[in-house]
């Protein structure tokens, strides 16, 4: 029984790291085929969508898990938000915007903010459903690869300037109505 669990844990780790590796390799390949590996190639894309009307992030994991607006979404966070234990997403609260908030938390449950902590980043297009998934890749993911993974501190700062981490200072908690 114990052996099986250990084996399962090993397989899970291998598959998880392989998926990180595959995502990394395929997005880099995509950028190089497109000739858009430099962060500066993505400036117009980053500028094009103005992110607005996003709910502020809860300051802790327990606040987030208790707020219905926020949905736990840990897919590939080891790759995009290395060091985060959990990330949540919340779509824009107005129908006019298709952007989305992302909030990430460390092992201690506290929010992670900015480049140093690989904090959550607002998305121009929240990757909910099929409709926005492609646009999420184009407007949020590929620029991140070019600016943060392939770029340097300075270019990654540009990314976070356009796709910022929310610092949770405005968070007020869910409003319950009967
Ligand atoms: C990326 O583009 C900028 C501005 O055009 C340029 O200064 C920089 O050298 C380029 N970086 C690479 C790695 O090609």
DSSP states of 63-84: HHHT-TT-EE--TTHHHHSTT-
Residue 129: the pLDDT is 67
Which residues face 105 on adjacent strands?
86, 111
Q: pLDDT tens digits, residue range 10-32?
A: 877 777 667 778 888 888 999 99
What are 158's two structure tokens?
């540009």
Q: 37 CA distance to ligand 1 centroid (A)?
A: 10
Q: 47 CA distance to ligand 1 centroid (A)?
A: 18
Nearest to 121 by CA among 54, 25, 61, 72: 54
Task: Give yes or no for residue 38 CB within 6 A of ligand 1.
Answer: yes
Q: 151 CA distance to ligand 1 centroid (A)?
A: 10
Task: Give yes or no for residue 40 CB within 6 A of ligand 1.
Answer: yes
DSSP-derived secondary structure letter, 164: P
CA atoms within 13 A on the CB side of 95: 0
Q: Give the closest residue (by CA) to ligand 1 atom 6.
A: 40
The pTM assigned to this predicted structure is 0.85
Asked whether the beta carbons of 73 and 84 are under 8 A apart, the reply is no
Pairing, β 71-72 against β 86-91: antiparallel
Task: Please choose from 35, 38, 146 the residue to mutate so as to test ligand 1's pocket, defined by most ligand atoms within 8 A of CB.
Answer: 38
Positions in the chain short of pLDDT 70:
1, 16-17, 50, 129, 176-178
């Amino acid at each position: 029984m114990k052996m099986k669990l250990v084996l399962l844990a090993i397989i899970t780790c291998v598959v998880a790291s392989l998926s990180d590796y595959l995502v990394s390799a395929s997005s880099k390949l995509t950028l190089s085929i497109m000739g858009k590996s430099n962060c500066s190639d993505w400036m117009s894309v980053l500028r094009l969508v103005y992110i607005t009307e996003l709910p502020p992030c809860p300051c802790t994991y327990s606040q987030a898990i208790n707020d219905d607006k926020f949905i736990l979404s840990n897919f590939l966070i080891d790759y995009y938000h290395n060091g985060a234990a959990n990330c949540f997403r919340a779509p824009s609260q107005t129908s006019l915007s298709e952007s989305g908030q992302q909030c990430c938390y460390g092992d201690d449950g506290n929010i992670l903010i900015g480049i140093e902590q690989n904090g959550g980043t607002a998305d121009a297009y929240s990757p909910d459903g099929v409709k926005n998934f492609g646009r999420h890749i184009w407007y949020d993911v590929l620029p991140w690869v070019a600016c943060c993974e392939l770029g340097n501190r300075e270019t990654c700062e540009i990314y976070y300037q356009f796709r910022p981490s929310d610092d949770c200072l405005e968070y007020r908690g869910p409003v319950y109505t009967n």
